[in-house]
Amino acid sequence: LSHTEPYRPQYHFSPAEHWMNDPAGLIYHNETYHLFFQYNPGGIEWGNMSWGHATSKDLTHWEERPVALLARGYPENVTEMFFTGSAVADVNNTSGFGVDGKIPLVAMYTSSYPVAQELPSGKQVQAGQQSQSIAYSLDEGETWTTYDAENPVIHNPPSPYGAEFQNFRDPFVSWHADTQKWVAVTVLSSLHKVAIWTSDNLKEWTLASEFGPYNGVGGVWECPNLFQLPIKGDPSIKKWVLVLGLNPGGPPGTVGSGTQYFIGDFDGTTFKADPASIYPDNKSANWMDWGPDFYAAASYNGLPEGGDVVQIGWMNNWQYGQRIPTSPWRSAMSVPRQLSLKKVNGKVTLLQQPQYSWRSVANHQTLKHSWKSVSKGSTSLDSPGKAFKIDLSFADHDSNKSLASTFAIGVRASSDFKQETLIGYNFTSKEVFVDRRNSGDVSSDKTFASLYHAPLSANADKRINLQVFVDWSSVEVLGGQGEVSLTAQIFPKGNSTEARLVSTDGVTQDVRLRINGMDSAWH
């Protein structure tokens, strides 16, 4: 059997072997979901950056394909690496890459040049330069032809930022229907700026505008992602969402990589953030995930217009990602998340829900139980195993009765509960938390053994709702309607199949729990 090594995710994508980081070029085409990703074909740490490739019919069962874009000169003498980017189906053949009516898939990515050189296009690049290039595929993403005649298609950072030629990357390209143009968002990562470009043919690009710096500017900006969503309950209003990776500089309590978002308007050239989306003095941010392991999130191109927006994130962190105790691979992707916008407590907020395809691996061994009141201390549960989904809800405190200060479910626990990962709610601070201090092997980094928290108020019927996806080496928590998300890797040692409820300092009322076992998506 494959995919049975310790810590191997059972229903999250991970490559069979070697290093993976950012998802890139997510595209749905001809009824197939493509996932390309940053990949080192020759090692378990970052290097030789190439585009790996996997395909799926349902976003849950994946088949790994041959490397799509292999670092040029690999393995002896790498002269160009293929950094993060995106892909589109050029339905109208604006690029002219299509042949005999065949729709070309076009990838736009960052060429990272380790050495100064003259390229086949005659263009000169400097050592460490990052430029934007394109490649196309006429065989469903299996093989790619780089556009050597002109690459890179965006050679240098826009003026006056020429000095930033080593910090200019991660083009996310999409079709802007209103203006009938291609739009690419890129980052000037050290300046905390997004540079927005437009094109008629994917080959010639014009600078349209810039955005930033705003909000989270602790580290560099990476991996911009731009998409449009209606507001739930007010679908006549459509907004644009700009998502950005920040490294280091995640939410309070995390160390390393984080993801923030802005809500605003985009007219095909300029992104203007809503005032409510901007914080004074860059002191805060709209965090997309409050845990340590959700980064470089990218959305799917090619989904039916006006339909779902589905995003996948890299479930790791640059702080320790290259030292996590997995072998012969490193890193997994998050569960695909369906995004929407809704007013929550008066503010338009990005909501995340698991994309429904997880149900195809949910089995029927369901634990379902309600308690009028869960007593103070520990309440044992039947062992749910190592991969499962939890729905947990309970009453918020509506009085000053001596109720619990925190309520949590402990998972992936040893039989003596000396090892466990706690997912719960702090009624005093009104925060969801993931506590991985005693989760098992925490040796990847001195900051790994930590407790992560996210603000969450009770819903309209005064309850706290949590959805949790547990896999062999991760937990993902979605709170409320999905207005908060917390993603964390865990590496439990030995047998770690136990679970329990823990109500601290008092009782927790009206508890409803449901657990679905999750099957392996690999068999």
Which positions are annotated as active-site residues? 22
For residues 468 and 500, give the distance between their C-alpha atoms in angstroms, rounded to a whole number. 14
Closest by Cα among 224, 465, 490, 513 to 351: 465
Q: CB of 110 within 8 A of CB of 128? A: no
Does residue 67 bind ligand FRU (CB under 6 A)? no
Binding-site string for ligand FRU from residue 226 to residue 255, where x marks contact by CB under 6 A and - marks none: -------------------x----------
Q: CB of 60 within 8 A of CB of 357? A: yes
Query: Which of 191, 466 has the CB closer to ligand FRU?
Result: 191
Query: Which of 38, 439 has the CB closer to ligand FRU?
Result: 38
Does residue 293 bind ligand FRU (CB under 6 A)? no
Q: CB of 456 within 8 A of CB of 480? A: yes
Does residue 222 bind ligand FRU (CB under 6 A)? yes
Token match 């010639």: residue?
Answer: 204
User: Smallest distance from the beta carbon of 21 to ligand FRU, in angstroms?
Assistant: 5
Residues 167-186 that bind ligand FRU (CB under 6 A): 169-170
For residues 97 and 147, give the distance between their C-alpha atoms in angstroms, rounded to a whole number. 10
Two tokens, residue 151: 């690459």
Does residue 223 bind ligand FRU (CB under 6 A)? yes
Under DSSP, the state recorded for 189 is: G
Query: Which of 245, 424 has the CB closer to ligand FRU?
Result: 245
User: Smallest distance from the beta carbon of 83 to ligand FRU, in angstroms?
Assistant: 3
Query: Which of 84, 95 has the CB closer to ligand FRU?
Result: 84
User: Smallest distance from the beta carbon of 343 to ligand FRU, in angstroms?
Assistant: 32
Query: Which of 110, 508 has the CB closer to ligand FRU?
Result: 110
Two tokens, residue 110: 């960052």
User: Smallest distance from the beta carbon of 323 to ligand FRU, in angstroms?
Assistant: 16
Closest by Cα among 99, 7, 15 to 314: 15
Residues 14-53 that bind ligand FRU (CB under 6 A): 21-22, 38, 49
Among 273, 296, 413, 499, binds ligand FRU (CB under 6 A): 296
Closest by Cα among 192, 208, 191 to 200: 208
Among 14, 48, 50, 110, binds ligand FRU (CB under 6 A): 110
User: Smallest distance from the beta carbon of 113 to ligand FRU, in angstroms?
Assistant: 13
Binding residues for ligand FRU, total number by CB under 6 A: 13
User: Smallest distance from the beta carbon of 164 to ligand FRU, in angstroms?
Assistant: 13
Does residue 483 bind ligand FRU (CB under 6 A)? no
User: Smallest distance from the beta carbon of 242 to ligand FRU, in angstroms?
Assistant: 16
Query: Which of 112, 516 has the CB closer to ligand FRU?
Result: 112
User: Smallest distance from the beta carbon of 42 to ligand FRU, in angstroms?
Assistant: 14
For residues 214 and 286, give the distance between their C-alpha atoms in angstroms, rounded to a whole number. 11
Query: Which of 314, 358 has the CB closer to ligand FRU?
Result: 314
Q: CB of 22 within 8 A of CB of 14? A: no
Handedness of CA 451, 486, 418, 509 (dihedral sign): positive
Q: CB of 12 within 8 A of CB of 333? A: yes
Query: Hey, which bits of 70-200 come out as E strands?
Result: 81-89, 105-113, 117-118, 124-125, 129-137, 145-146, 168-176, 181-188, 193-199
Could you give the strand order of the β-sheet that contains 463-471, starting from the edge strand earlier in sequence?
A: 362-374, 508-518, 388-395, 463-471, 474-479, 484-489
Among 39, 51, 83, 227, binds ligand FRU (CB under 6 A): 83
Closest by Cα among 279, 511, 242 to 372: 511
User: Smallest distance from the beta carbon of 502 to ligand FRU, in angstroms?
Assistant: 35
Query: What element of type H or E holds 448?
Result: none
Could you give the strand order of the β-sheet that contains 329-330, starting from the edge strand earlier in sequence?
A: 62-69, 50-56, 32-40, 18-29, 329-330
Query: Which of 48, 199 has the CB closer to ligand FRU?
Result: 48
Residues 380-419 that bind ligand FRU (CB under 6 A): none
Q: CB of 322 within 8 A of CB of 47? A: no
For residues 460 and 438, give the distance between their C-alpha atoms in angstroms, rounded to a whole number. 34
Contacts of residue 301, Cβ cutoff 8 Å, sequence gap at least 6: 26, 27, 28, 86, 87, 88, 89, 173, 174, 175
Query: Which of 83, 329 has the CB closer to ligand FRU?
Result: 83
- Per CB under 6 A, residues contacting ligand FRU are 21-22, 38, 49, 83-84, 110, 169-170, 222-223, 245, 296
